[in-house]
Amino acid sequence: MQYSGYTLTSGNSQSKLLNSPLMERVDARLKIVTAGLLSLVLASSQSLSCLLAGLILAVVYCILGRLNTWWVLKRLLSLNLFILFLWLTLPLAKTPSPPVITLGWVSLYKEGLFLAMIITMKSNGIMLFLMSLIGTLSIPELCRGLQQLRVPSRFVQLLGATYRYIAVIKEEYQRLYQAALLRGFVPGTNLHTYRTYGYLIAMTLLRSKIRAERVHKAMLMRGFTGIYPMLSPDSPAPPGATPLSLLLFSSTFLLLTLLSFFW
Amino acid sequence: MQNPTQAPLLELRKVTFSYEQRAKPVFEQLDFSFPGNRMGLIGDNGSGKTTLLHLLVGLLKPTTGMVYFQGNPIQSDTDLVQLRRSVGMVFQQADDQLFCPTVLEDVAFGPLNLGQTSRQAKATALEVLQLLRMENYIERITHTLSGGEKRMIALATVLAMNPKVLLLDEPTNDLDRTAKNRLLTTLQALEIPMIIISHDWDLLSKLADGYVALENGKLTFSEQMEIHNHKHAHPMGSHTHEHQHC
């Protein structure tokens, strides 16, 4: 199981690969908006040239962001495992045009193959853009950026709390699971197993709720009144970095939009 | 101990409280006043020690009766906010207390709520962490800290608000000897009145100057520790230790 928040940090703030001013020291809001817009263009485009350009540019972004290659490949792998199923099913869909290949009982059709390719390009492009833009933000930066973009405070708090507590909840679940194992629990395909898993999950949920109440009390004791205050960043982006990034981001957006409409 | 000319710091007057699901009230017509010393609060598990602390700061609302802070009744939500800003509570589980991603954000949370600017809050956080000799932890991710480190940071988050009273709920629970001694030394050096819930007699004898025992919803005060015979193991080899007899 992967917890994106957990690994984001280990890839970002702990093993710092920083100091690419174009990507690193840019206002979080700009990155979030850019990531949103670029994803939107790629998601809605049917143009091959736009998708191809998007894919290439996304790789360039990752290089500019100095992302760890293994880190990127690992994430792309899990995404593409999912997409593999589309390749296995979509080309089988029968269309009026003649099949491209027929292997005994199985016929593959052009439309399905094309669709699978487009989806692959789109999702990989979007994923790479997200990794280079959002993945280079720490969770506090991301939360602050979202809050400044007027995303409702509850959602931002939810994100921050999830990041903080998902590891705690996982530990709690594992403790319960180990306790079950130590008492001779062997998972199988039977009602006893399902019931035990049901108990474990229910108990984890219940404990999380009780924990949430305790956390809320702790927040109240430190003067929380509904608004989550945030620290501003230590080192604001140096002058020059932001206009340059703005130029890069907006030209990427323009190029992809134009390609998507005209080619 | 209590100065008649001065109102007690925290006070409960004729407080009755019961959890809804339980029929029997935890407290009935309970009077409690905290003059501002270092008070140890002792009692068996489930006797209501934590409940008492939570009543004192309005985290739980008494069914009947009133809470007073420095002689003033706590009536409105504004009073409550004011009270909680002045009282620092260190919770039993430090994981519940540290809810921000990084140590810095967590320690700065309180000062920001008190209206400090980002810059001031950071300075306050650094100052408190330096006081506790924890300044190297400022960039750390909270959930990667050890139990002892979490407890020290939890104390820092509370001290950053410059509290008038500290409420410590089993502060040395789960701590090893080194972490415990470090916390004890830190607490001894603080000149803040505190109420300490603990089963740890060693800690209480070194920290508290008065005791309250909670049993069956009733409080028994005793200002000094009583002489007692005791047996306990010294697993780390023989070492001398003091017992403060009166």
pLDDT for residue A5 is more than 50? no
Rounded (10°) angle between helices B177-189 and B147-159: 10
Confidence of residue A252 (pLDDT cuts 50, 70, 90): very high
- State the pLDDT at residue B244: 52
Average pLDDT, chain A: 84
Chain B environment of A140 (Cβ under 8 Å): 100-102, 105
In a domain, A54, yes or no: yes
For residue A224, give the nearest of B102, B108, B113 by CB distance. B113
For A241, the domain range is 4-147+233-262
**How far apart are alpha carbons B29 and B23 in whole angstroms?**
16
In a domain, A226, yes or no: no
Does A138 sit within 8 Å of B101, measured CB to CB?
A: yes
Is the ipTM of this structure higher than 0.90?
no
Residues A32 and A158 in one domain: no
Residues A124 and A161 in one domain: no
Residues A136 and A200 in one domain: no
- State the pLDDT at residue B103: 92
For residue A220, give the nearest of B59, B95, B114 by CB distance. B59
In a mutational test of the A interface, the residue from B99, B117, B145 whose CB has the highest number of chain A CBs within 10 Å is: B99
Name the DSSP class of B141: B
Digit-coded pLDDT (tens) for A168-214:
899 899 999 988 888 888 888 889 899 999 999 999 999 999 999 99
Confidence of residue A34 (pLDDT cuts 50, 70, 90): very high
Residues A11 and A116 in one domain: yes
Q: For residue B114, give the 3-state DSSP assignment.
A: coil
Residues A48 and A133 in one domain: yes
b/e sequence B162-174, b meaning 16+ C-beta within 10 Å: ebbbbbbbbbbbe
Does A140 sit within 8 Å of B105, measured CB to CB?
A: yes
What architecture is domain B10-222? 3-Layer(aba) Sandwich (3.40)
In a domain, A95, yes or no: yes
In a domain, A192, yes or no: yes
**How far apart are alpha carbons A140 and A156 in whole angstroms?**
10
Say which residue the tokens 């006893």 belong to. A192
Residues A130 and A142 in one domain: yes
Does A222 sit within 8 Å of B109, measured CB to CB?
A: yes
**How far apart are alpha carbons B153 and B91 in whole angstroms?**
12
Does A230 sit within 8 Å of B112, measured CB to CB?
A: yes
Residues A24 and A124 in one domain: yes
- What Rg do the C-alpha atoms of chain A give, in angstroms? 23
Residues 72-101 of B with CB under 8 A from A: 81, 84-85, 87-89, 91, 93, 95-101
In a domain, A227, yes or no: no
Give how many domains chain A has, as a whole number: 2
Q: Please tell me if residue B151 touches chain A, with a CB cutoff of 8 Å.
A: no
Q: Please tell me if residue A144 touches chain B, with a CB cutoff of 8 Å.
A: no
Residues A50 and A179 in one domain: no
Q: Which of A8-17, A50-59, B218-227 has the lowest mean pLDDT?
A: A8-17
In a domain, A29, yes or no: yes
User: For residue A161, what is the nearest residue in chain B, using CA coordinates?
Assistant: B99
In a domain, A27, yes or no: yes
Chain B environment of A164 (Cβ under 8 Å): 98-101, 142-143
User: For residue A10, what is the nearest residue in chain B, using CA coordinates?
Assistant: B141
The residue that leads in pLDDT, A15 or B236, is: B236
In a domain, A228, yes or no: no
Does B108 sit within 8 Å of A168, measured CB to CB?
A: no
Residues A198 and A254 in one domain: no
Digit-coded pLDDT (tens) for A132-155:
999 888 888 898 899 889 999 889
Helix ranges (H only) for A95-152 are: 110-133, 139-148
The residue ranges of chain B whose pLDDT is under 70 are 1-5, 21-22, 223-246
Residues A137 and A66 in one domain: yes
Query: Please, which residues have CB within 8 angstroms of residue A186's CB and are 6 or more apart in sequence?
Result: none
- State the pLDDT at residue B51: 93
Q: Please tell me if residue B221 touches chain A, with a CB cutoff of 8 Å.
A: no
Digit-coded pLDDT (tens) for A63-86:
888 888 999 999 999 999 999 999
Query: What's the maximum distance between 2 C-alpha atoms anywhere in chain B?
Result: 55
Residues A245 and A172 in one domain: no
Residues A153 and A143 in one domain: no
- Hey, where are the domains in chain B? 10-222
- State the pLDDT at residue A235: 63
